[in-house]
Amino acid sequence: MALALLATGSAQGAETEQVTDFGPNPGGLQMYRYVPDDLPTGMPLVVVLHGCTQDARAFDDESGWTDVADSVGFALLLPEQPAANNPDRCFRFYDDRHNRRGEGEAASIAAMIEALLGDEDTALDRSRVFIAGLSAGGAMAVAMLASYPELFAGGAAIAGVPYGCASTSGDAWLAAQRW
Q: What structural domains and CATH numbers belong to the chain?
A: 16-178 (3.40.50.1820)
Alpha-carbon dihedral of residues 47, 49, 55, 58, nearest 10 degrees?
A: -70
H or E, element range at 58: helix 56-63
**Cβ neighbours, 10 Å, residue 126:** 16
* pLDDT score of 96: 87
Which residues are bridge partners to 75 per DSSP?
45
AA identity, residue 71: S
pLDDT in tens, 23-79: 999 999 999 999 999 999 999 999 999 999 999 999 999 999 999 999 999 999 999
Mean pLDDT value of segment 153-173: 78
Beta bridge partners of 124: none
pLDDT at res. 178 = 61
On the question of pLDDT at 174 being above 80, the answer is: no
Output the pLDDT for position 160: 81
Cβ contacts of 3 within 8 Å, gap of 6 or more: none
Helix (H) or strand (E) holding 106: helix 104-117
- Residue 10 annotated in active site: no
* Rounded percentage of the chain residues whose pLDDT exceeds 70: 85
Q: Which residue among the candidates 135, 147, 167, 169 is catalytic per the annotation?
A: 135
Name which of 100, 97, 77, 71 is nearest 86 in CA terms: 97
Nearest C-alpha neighbor of 48 from the set 113, 98, 102: 113
Residue 10, pLDDT > 50, answer no
- pLDDT of amino acid 1: 35
pLDDT at residue 19 above 90? yes
The pLDDT confidence band at residue 14, using thresholds 50, 70 and 90, is confident
- Using the 8-state DSSP alphabet, how is residue 112 labeled? H
CA distances from 114 to 18, 51, 93, 123, 169 (A): 16, 23, 20, 12, 29
Lowest mean pLDDT among 63-67, 91-95, 104-108: 91-95
Do residues 42 and 125 make contact, with C-beta atoms less than 8 angstroms apart? yes
**pTM, full prediction:** 0.88
